[in-house]
Structure 1
Amino acid sequence: MQVLFVEDDPMNWRVVKDMLTIAGVDMAEAEDAETGLRMIDESHYDVVLMDLRMPGMDGLSAIRCIRARADAKATIPIIVITADTAIDLRERSLAAGADQVLQKPVAMNALFDALGEAIDNEGHVIL
């Protein structure tokens, strides 16, 4: 499984990458939304993990860009991972096209459950 984590904090990359390595999952990192969108253009990912607050384009805008694509990549599962605690965060994320929303610090079992659901919904093997 190939996962792209769009996140501007390298410490968060390391934490999530360590969790995914335990499950044998490969993870690529993008330091901002624009880079993440470019990486999606250039490579295949099974799941995108998306932070919401980043310099430049925010995560919700990036999700909308992915969902507006005219190819199969428009349906890639997107899991928001955020420290944002706004009351309407979940609703806004889902309305933008996210499949799930996780709060930071993300627990390993929550991450694995979300990945399993995302992949299962796409008809792939569950973690």
Structure 2
Amino acid sequence: MMKKPCLLVVDDHPTNLKLVSDLLEFEDYEVLRAVDAETAQEMIRLTVPDLVLMDLALPGMDGLTLTRLLKADPATRHIIIVALTAYAMKGDEAKAREAGCDGYITKPIDTRSICAQVAGYLKKGQTAHSPQTL
């Protein structure tokens, strides 16, 4: 039996954090939650997730800074990071990708498609990062 993917949702807005986490848990993902970048870093040190849904506008260290730190570290470089943001202006997605985000989902989230989007990023990430196993 395959282990279920572990996801970390980082969002300082309690309603968004709960909504996204609940939707993903309903789809049988293991979901960790963090309200800021510092908490997210602590959680990642304890349990390295398969994918992080990263709010970019966080108190203290922002999501782009945390993404750069994670992508610069060989121990966490492989984690799939998807920006989850209300920033939907021209150029914002490019900034997120330059910081190292593997994907980009805008808020308000589409509750009908977020799980499929996450599954797609996980699938892409597995084929990109995993050595072929027999």
Fold shared by both chains (TM-score > 0.5): yes
1:80 aligns with 2:83: yes
State the superposition RMSD in angstroms. Answer: 1.4
After TM superposition, the score normalised by the length of structure 2 is 0.85
- Give the Cα–Cα distance (whole angstroms) in 2 for the partners of residues 18 and 123 of structure 1: 24
Instruction: Write out per-residue CA displacement over residues 64-112 of structure 1, whole angstroms, 9 at most, x where no aligned residue.
Output: 00001022x2110011111113311100001111011111111134322
- Give the Cα–Cα distance (whole angstroms) in 2 for the partners of residues 109 and 63 of structure 1: 26
What is the number of residues matched between the two proteins? Answer: 123
After TM superposition, the score normalised by the length of structure 1 is 0.89
- What does residue 96 of structure 1 align with? 99
- Structure 2: gaps spanning 5 or more residues: 128-134
1:39 to 40, 43, 48: 43
- What does residue 68 of structure 1 align with? 72
2:114 to 89, 111, 124: 111
- Give the Cα–Cα distance (whole angstroms) in 2 for the partners of residues 109 and 118 of structure 1: 16
